[in-house]
Amino acid sequence: MAESAAVEFRIDRRSGVATYLQIVQQTKQALRLGVLEPGDRLPTAREVVEATAINPNTVLKAYRELEREGLVEARRGLGTFVRRTLGSAAVTTDPPLRAELSEWTRRARAAGLDRDDVSALFTDVLNSTFKGDQHS
């Protein structure tokens, strides 16, 4: 066995999001946050299904998707490894963007919006900005 995997997936059956998409999204999230770095090994299908009791083909489908996007690569007999990070530069190493968002959030609060209002507004803008970019 190689060293232990760098992430662990949590599957929410009631989220309404397809299971394989949950794995894809959680992997990307980990890449963005720098939890996963190039060279890291993703857990094997066996490890994932043993912990989550989901179908092995679902894991393989998610990994194929990640592979198709060039984020990971399968090395025969060794496992699936991270090839590159994903916008982590913007998330963790771009203070200006973060600062702008913080500033905007503070203004929203001052304008009398509560947490849910801010979140709804943000999601709405997010959705209209990225419309059409979703997975089909």
Partner 1 sequence: MTGAAIEANGLGMTYGRKRGWALRDCSFRLPTGRICALVGPNGAGKSTLLSLAAGLLRPAEGSVRVLGSTPAEARPRIAYVSQDKPLYPQLTVADTLWAGAQLNPASWDRAAADRIAGVLPQDAKVRTLSGGQRTRLALALALGKRPELMLLDEPMADLDPLARHQLMGVLMAEAAEHGTTIVMSSHILTELEGACDYLLLVDGGRVRLGGESDDIVAAHSVLTGQARDLAPHTVVESRTTGRQLTALVRREGPVDDTAWDVKEPSLEELLLAHLRSPEAPALLTPSAHAREEVATA
Closest CA to 28 of 78, 94, 82, 104: 82
- 52 contributes a contact to partner 1 by CB under 8 A: yes
* Closest approach of partner 1 to the CB of residue 35, in Å: 23
Nearer to partner 1, 68 or 96 (CB): 68
Binding mask 92-131 for partner 1 (x = CB under 8 A): ----------------------------------------
Sequence-ordered list of residues with C-beta below 8 angstroms from that of 1, at least 6 positions apart, any chain: none
- Residue 23 binds partner 1, judged by CB under 8 A: no
Q: Please name the helix (run of DSSP H) or strand (run of DSSP E) that holds residue 135, with its range, or none.
A: none
Among 15, 55, 93, 127, binds partner 1 (CB under 8 A): 55
Residue placing its CB nearer to partner 1 in the complex, 13 or 98 = 13
Tell which phi-psi region holds residue 46, choosing left (phi > 0), alpha (psi between -120 and 50) or beta: alpha
Considering the complex, state which of residue 26 and residue 44 has its C-beta at the smaller distance from partner 1: 44
> Residue 124: what residue type?
D
Instruction: Please measure the distance between the N-terminal and C-terminal CA atoms of the chain and give it in whole angstroms.
Output: 36
- Match 């720098």 to its residue by tokens: 34
Residues forming the site for partner 1 (CB under 8 A):
11, 13, 19, 44-47, 49-59
